[in-house]
Amino acid sequence: MRIAVFHPGAMGSKLAAQLVAAGHEVHWVPEGRSPESTARAEAAGLIGTPFAEAVGAAEAVLCSCAPQGAVDIAVQVGRAGFDGLYIEANPLSPKSLREAQEAVSQATFVDAGVIGPPPTGGPSPTHLMLSGSAAEQAAGLWAGTAVTPMVVGDQPGAASAAKSSYALYNKGKAALAVLAFQLAEKHGVTEALTAQQVRGDASSLQDPSLPEQLRRVAWRWGPEFDELAETLDDAGLEGDAARALRQVWTKLS
């Protein structure tokens, strides 16, 4: 199958590389992208193609980018008249997901969410949550690869909810660890904090350099927490909890 991917970031490039490994012809659009994106695309075996050609000839489009760019990509692809399989693999709130789906109204829309690290065949699995009428078709694209598709519903929204639930726990825990290290450093007790890593629920406290390590993803995780807050609001839950943790990523970035 001929597939267009937007964009080959840290996750998108690895998802696309697994599509190449499965025998698909995968294209990307180099215009306006960084040298780092070009290097990732080349390493993944992607074919650089102008936008109109990439979308016009594609049978499927995979959108995997920072959440703040997802709806804009859907709008661009929709305006190009794309009517194939559109896989939206970003952590979006129900509102943003609806906007993306409406933007590609001629396409067959599949909601997707990635849980785990970029797929490389390592020990930690990469689960690709999928929902929608064509979720099984989308799952088949990664057959035999390091991606483990999981069909979680027949309507868009289920996959995003599964992703959001885990992201709230996993990245929320990371945000709390950042705050804990910052508080401990302020009072000169970092060593006492890291000593607690021996406890079964304290693995995040192993490395006091965690705040600095997470600085490189804070620009992306911050908008993800904006979407998480709206997702919690939509479910009648405490969206303000995610808004408060969002400030951790705001300050880091």
For domain 2-154, the question of CATH label 3.40.50.720 is answered with yes
pLDDT recorded at residue 79: 98
* Domain spans in the chain, listed from the N-terminal domain onward: 2-154, 162-252
Kindly report the CATH class assigned to 162-252: mainly alpha
Average pLDDT, the chain: 96
Q: At what angle do helices 218-234 and 239-252 cross, to 10 degrees?
A: 170
pLDDT recorded at residue 122: 84
* pTM of the full structure: 0.94
From residue 186, give the alpha-carbon distance in Å to each of 148, 181, 182. 42, 8, 6
pLDDT tens-digit map of 34-58: 999 999 999 999 999 999 999 999 9
Measure CA of the first residue to CA of the last residue in the chain; give whole Å: 39
In this predicted structure, the answer to whether residue 159 has a pLDDT above a threshold of 90 is yes
Q: How far is CA 191 from the centre of its chain?
A: 34
In this predicted structure, the answer to whether residue 146 has a pLDDT above a threshold of 90 is yes
pLDDT recorded at residue 121: 85
What are the phi and psi torsion angles at 63 (to 5°)? -110, 110
The mean pLDDT value for 1-30 works out to 97
In this predicted structure, the answer to whether residue 115 has a pLDDT above a threshold of 90 is yes
Q: CB-based contacts of 167: which residues, under 8 Å, 6+ apart? A: 91, 115, 224, 228
Q: Are strands 25-28 and 47-48 parallel, antiparallel or unpaired?
A: parallel
What type of residue is 237? Answer: L
pLDDT tens-digit map of 190-233: 999 999 999 988 989 999 999 999 999 999 999 999 999 999 99
In angstroms, the CA 190 to CA 201 distance is 17
Please answer whether residues 88 and 102 qualify as being in contact, where contact means their C-beta atoms are separated by less than 8 angstroms: no
pLDDT recorded at residue 200: 86
In angstroms, the CA 61 to CA 77 distance is 9
